[in-house]
Amino acid sequence: MTILHLALAVAILAPLAAVAVLGLRVLLGDRHPSELNTFRTIGAGLLASLVASAVVAGAFAGLWAPSYRGDIEFGDWLRIGDFVIPGVLLVDGISVTISAFAAALTAVIARFSRSYLHKEPGFVRFFVLLGLFATGTQLVALAGALELFFAGWEMIGIASAFFIGFFHERDEPVRSAVRAFATYRLSDAGLLIATVTTFELLGSARFSAFDRAASLPPAESSIIALLFLVSAMGKSAQLPFSGWLPRAMEGPTPSSALFYGAVSIHAGLFLLLRVWPVLEVSIIARSVGVAVGLATALYAAAVVRVHTDAKGALAHATLAQVGLILTEICLGWTTLALVHLVCHAFLRLGQYLKAPNTIHDTHRMGHQHAGAGWLERAAPTVAARVYSASLHRLRLDDRIDWAFSPVLRVAEALDGVDRWWRRVLSADGGAQ
Amino acid sequence: MNAEVVALSAPWEALIVCSLLLFAPALASQRPMPAWQLGGCAMTLGMALFASSGTVAFAAIALGGLLHAVEAWHQTRTGAIFLAASALLCFGASAAMAGAQLTAAFLLSCLAVALRAGVLPFHVGVAALCDRAPVVQTQQLASAIALVFVHLRFVDHHATAVELAPLLVRYGAAACFIAALMTLVQRDLRGLYRGTTGMHGGMLLAAMGAASLGNFAAALLVAVAMGLALGGLGLVITSLEARVGPVAFAGPGGRARTFPRLAAAFALFGGAGVGLPGTAGFVADDLLLHTLWMESPVSTVTVILSSAMLAVATLVGFSKVFLGRTTPSLAPDLHARERLVMVMLLVGLLTLGFAPWALLGPADAFLSGGG
C-alpha cells in the first residue's frame, strides 16, 4: 500500500470512523457526551480527512514524486462471477479539487459550529451528521466507479434531510425534511437506474470506462445521459425540483451554508462533470440541460427579488448561479464550470455564515429600498405578473403535490383492498 | 485456504445470522420463547443448513415452522395458521424431494417462501405476525433465511426453475411495488412494519427468480439483509411499544429526546432496509438490481422505485414516531441487554455491508454447486 492509497482511505474513512466511535459511545453508555468530547472526536476525523486530502492533492501535483493521476485500486468490494463492484478511487483534476475544497469547507464549518451551536440540544447530532456528510462528499469526490459514487451520494442526501429537520420540535422543518428527502430519493432512483444501465451497456461502471460512451448508439447514450441529468436536477434543485431548496433553509445556518451554499447543492453539477463523456455525445440531454439551467436561473432571479427573508433570498441567488453552471456544463465549458462552481461555493459559504449578522445589522440600520428596475419601467404589467408569480414561486410545490396525488389515491385504494383481504382470511378477532 | 473449506463456511455463516435472529428477542428479554422451543428451533436450523439431502433439510425447516406456529398461537391464530401452512408446504417439498419430483418441490418451496416472507397476496399470516407478534416475526425470519438457503441449494438448479424465473422476477417486482405503495399511506407503526415486510418479501421473490439464472449469492444476501434489517426493526418496535404502547401516526410523536437510542436504532435498521450505504442492504440492493436487469429491465426499475418509496415512507414513519415537540415519559431508553442485541445485529449488517465477500464468496461457491 502506497502513501496515496493510505491518504485516499483516510480522506474518506476518517470522518466515518469518528462517527462510529461517537455513536458506539452513545449507544453503549455515555448518553450525553460533552460538547468538547464531541467536537474533538469528530474534529479529529475531519482534520485527518483534510490532511489526507492535501496529501492526495500533493501527490496529484507531483510535489514529492512524479505526478499521479488515474484509477487507484483497492481490490474488489464484491466479486460474484462476472459481476464486480470495484473498490476503485479516481485521482484527477476534478476529484482532487472537489475533495480538497469540500474537506476544507467542512472543517471550517465544524469550527464555526462549535461556537454557533454552543448549548444547542442537538449539538452531538449535528456533529454526527457532519461526519457522515464529510464521508459522503469525499466518497463522491474520489469515487472511481458509480457504485461508490452512489454510496456517497446517498449519504449526502440522508445527512441533508436530517439537517433540514434539525429543529424537529417544530412541524415545518420536519415537513421540509420529508419533501427534500423525497426529491433526493427520486434523484437517487434516476442515478441508480443510470448506474445499472451504464454497467450493462458499457460492461463497467468505472468512470474511466466512460470514454467508450462514444461508441454507444445515440438512443442508448441519450437515455443514460438524461437519467444522469435528472439525478443532477434533483440534487441541485433545478426546475421543476426547485421547491425543496427554500424549505431546506429550516436547518441551522452552518448546515445551510455547507449544504445549500457550498457543497451539496453542487453535487449534481459534479456528477455531470464526472460523466461528461456520456453527456458530451448526447445533444438531446445537453439541450435539455441548457434549457433547464437557463429556466432555473431566470426563475430564481425573479424570485430572489421578492424574497423577504435573507436565507431564502440567498437560496434563490444560489439557485440562479447553479442554473448558470449547469448551462455552462451542458454547453461544454467544463473547465469554466469547475472554476465557477468552486468560486461560487466559497462566496456563498461566506454569505450564509454572515446572514445572521446581516439580518441583525439590517434591523438596526433599516432597509434601503431599491428604485424601479428596467422591467418595471419598460413593461409594468409584465413586471407585475412576474412579481405575482415570483411571490408564490410559480406554485411549484402545489403542482408537484398535484402530480403525485393520483399515486396516493391508488395507494389508499390498494390499502383498502389489502385490509379487506386480510379481514377475510383472518382467524383473529378484532379489527385488522 | 482450501476451496472446500471456504465453501463449507457458507452454512456456518448462515447459521450465525439465523441464530442471531432466533436468540435476539430472548437476549433482549422480549417475551422469550420457552427453552425447549428455542432449542428445538436452533436444532432444526442447524439440520436444515448442514443436511446433505433436500428431504432432510425441508423437513427440518417444516419442524421449525411448526415450533414458531406453536409460539404464535396465543398471540395471533392467523399468523400461526399461516406458519403451519408454510410448514406443511415444506413437508410437501421434502416428500417431493424424496420422490425426486423436483418441479413439485420447487413450486411448494416457492409458496412456502412466499408465506414466510410475506409476499402479496400470501402475506396475511406475516401481516398478522407484524401486527400482533413482532417477536415471533423476528424469530421466524431466522428460519425463513434458512428456507431460502435450502431452496437455493436443492431446488433452484433445474429446468423448471429456469423456466419459471421470468415469472418469479416479474411477480416479485410487482408485489414489491404494490407493498411499497401501500406503505406510503399507513397510519401506524405496525402498518409501516407490515408494509416494509411485504416490500422485502416481493424483493426476495424477485431475487429467487434471478437466482434460478445463476445468481445465487444475490438472493441469499437479499434474504440475510432482509432478515437482519426487519428483525432489528421488529425488536425496536417491540421495545418502543413496551414503553409507550401502540404508536399511531396521528401527529408528531416527539420521542427522539426521550428515547434517543431507540430513535437511532430505528433510523439505522429502517435505513438498512432501504439500502443505507455501508450496510448489507446497500450491497444486496445493488447486486440484486444488476442480476434482475439480465432478466427484466422493467422489473429492475420497478424495484428501484419501490425502494425509493419505501425510503420516503420510512422517513415519514420516523418523523411521526420520534420527531416533534418532546413527549415526556418516565420509561427508560433501551436497557443494556436490548442495546447489546441491537449492536450485534448492526455489526452483522455493517460487516456484510463493508465486507460482503465474507458471506458471498463461500455462499456462491456452495450454492452454485448445488450443495
Q: What is residue A231's predicted lDDT score, i.e. its pLDDT? A: 92
The rounded percent of chain A whose pLDDT value lies above 70 is: 95
Domain that holds residue B281: 3-368
Residue in B186, B282, B319 nearest the CB of A165: B319
Place of cell 444488476: B290
A176-234 confidence digits (pLDDT tens): 888 888 888 888 899 999 988 888 888 888 888 888 888 888 888 899 999 999 999 99
Q: What is the pLDDT of residues B328-369, one digit of tens each?
A: 888 888 888 888 889 899 999 998 888 888 777 777 777 776
Express each pLDDT in B293-324 by its tens digit.
888 899 999 999 999 999 999 999 999 999 88
Query: What are B168's three cell numbers?
Result: 418469479
Q: Provide the residue count of chain B.
A: 371
| Residue A302, pLDDT score | 84
Q: What is the pLDDT of residues A64-95, one digit of tens each?
A: 777 788 888 888 887 777 778 888 999 988 89
Contact at 8 Å (CB) between B142 and B19? yes
Q: How far is A168 from chain B (nearest CA, A)?
A: 5
pLDDT tens for each residue of B229-248: 999 999 999 999 988 888 88
pLDDT band at B266 (very low <50, low <70, confident <90, very high): very high
Task: Give the per-residue pLDDT at B255.
Answer: 87
**Predicted confidence (pLDDT) at residue B1 exceeds the cutoff of 50:** no
Q: Which residues in chain B have their CB less than 8 angstroms from residue A152's CB? A: 277
Residue A430 has pLDDT above 60, yes or no: no
Read off the pLDDT band of A55 (50, 70, 90).
very high
pLDDT band at A416 (very low <50, low <70, confident <90, very high): very high
Q: Is the peptide bond before A240 cis (omega within 30 degrees of 0)?
A: yes
Model confidence over B136-175: pLDDT tens digits?
999 999 989 999 999 988 888 778 888 888 999 999 999 9
> Does residue A2 register a pLDDT over 90?
no
Mean pLDDT of A37-60: 93
**Count: domains in chain B:** 1
What pLDDT is attached to residue B58? 95
Q: Any residues with CB less than 8 A from the CB of B363 and at least 6 apart, and which?
A: B10, B13, B14, B216, B217, B220, B221
Q: Cα distance from B142 to chain A (closest Cα, Å)? A: 24
Q: Sorting pLDDT into bands at 50, 70 and 90, what band is A370? A: low
ipTM for the complex? 0.90
Query: What interhelical angle do B159-183 and B102-117 show, nearest 10?
Result: 10
Model confidence pLDDT, tens digit, residues B5-62: 455 578 888 888 899 998 888 887 766 678 888 899 999 999 999 998 999 999 999 9
Query: Residue A71: its pLDDT value, please?
Result: 87
Q: Which of A185, A201, A220, A226 has the most B C-beta neighbours within 10 Å, making it the best mutation to test the interface with B?
A: A185
Chain A residue numbers with beta carbons less than 8 Å from the beta carbon of B301 are: 193
Chain A partners within 8 Å of B278 (Cβ): 16, 151
Would you mind telling me the total number of residues written for chain A in this entry? 432
Distance CA A139, CA A99 (A): 9
Q: What is the mean pLDDT of residues A269-284?
A: 91
Question: B363: helix, coil or strand?
Answer: helix
Separation in Å, CA of A388 to nearest CA in chain B: 33
CA dihedral angle for residue B295, residue B297, residue B299, residue B305, rounded to 10 degrees: 150
Considering the entire predicted model, what is its pTM? 0.90
Q: How many CB pairs under 8 A join A and B?
A: 153
Asked if B184 and A186 come within 8 Å (Cβ–Cβ), the reply is no
Chain B residues with CB under 8 Å of A198 CB are none
Q: How confident is the model at residue A171 (pLDDT cuts 50, 70, 90)?
A: confident
In this predicted model, what pLDDT tens digit does every residue of B70-85 receive, in sequence order? 999 989 999 999 999 9
Q: How far is B99 from chain A (nearest CA, A)?
A: 33
Per-residue b or e along A320-352, where b marks 16 or more CB atoms closer than 10 Å to that residue's CB: bbbbbbbbbbbeeebeebbebbbebbeebbebb
Q: Can you tell me the mean pLDDT for A151-161?
A: 89
